[in-house]
Amino acid sequence: MPKFMFEGKYTADGAKAVIRDGGTARRVALEKAIKSAGGKLEAVYFAFGGTDVYVIADLPDNVTAATMALTVSQSGVASTNTVVLLTPEEVDMAGKKSIAYRPPGG
């Protein structure tokens, strides 16, 4: 199953809710949402700086990942950036493929 990393940023109201309910409650909610989408939660990490939370999950496909990101964004209390994660073996396979490409100015 493809693996995705969601980088989340809370609004002020979202951050207040995390403080009120706790990080473990947020992890439970994320796990339920991901499971309902046919996926599996791997990890949740809270952070400070530009990103408030990192969520790593296995999801069935890109459409499901997009649905997850859209669902979070439409809540109005968080926004996400979605990163598709590749295994070292997938990078090996990509390195063995070739495509016809002409760079700009080439």
pLDDT at 41: 98
Residue type, 74: Q
57-86 residue pLDDT tens: 999 999 999 999 999 999 999 999 999 999
Q: What is the model's pTM? A: 0.90
User: Above pLDDT 70, what percent of the chain?
Assistant: 100
User: Is residue 106 predicted with pLDDT exceeding 90?
Assistant: no
Helix/strand/coil (H/E/C) assignment for every residue in the chain: CCEEEEEEEECHHHHHHHHHHCHHHHHHHHHHHHHHCCCEEEEEEECCCCCCEEEEEECCCHHHHHHHHHHHHHCCCEEEEEEEECCHHHHHHHHHCCCCCCCCCC
21-44 residue pLDDT tens: 999 999 999 999 999 999 999 999
d(CA 87, CA 34): 20
Residue 20: burial class (beta carbons within 10 Å; 0-12, 13-18, 19+): exposed
d(CA 51, CA 49): 6
CATH of domain 3-96: 3.30.70
Q: List the domain boundaries for the chain.
A: 3-96
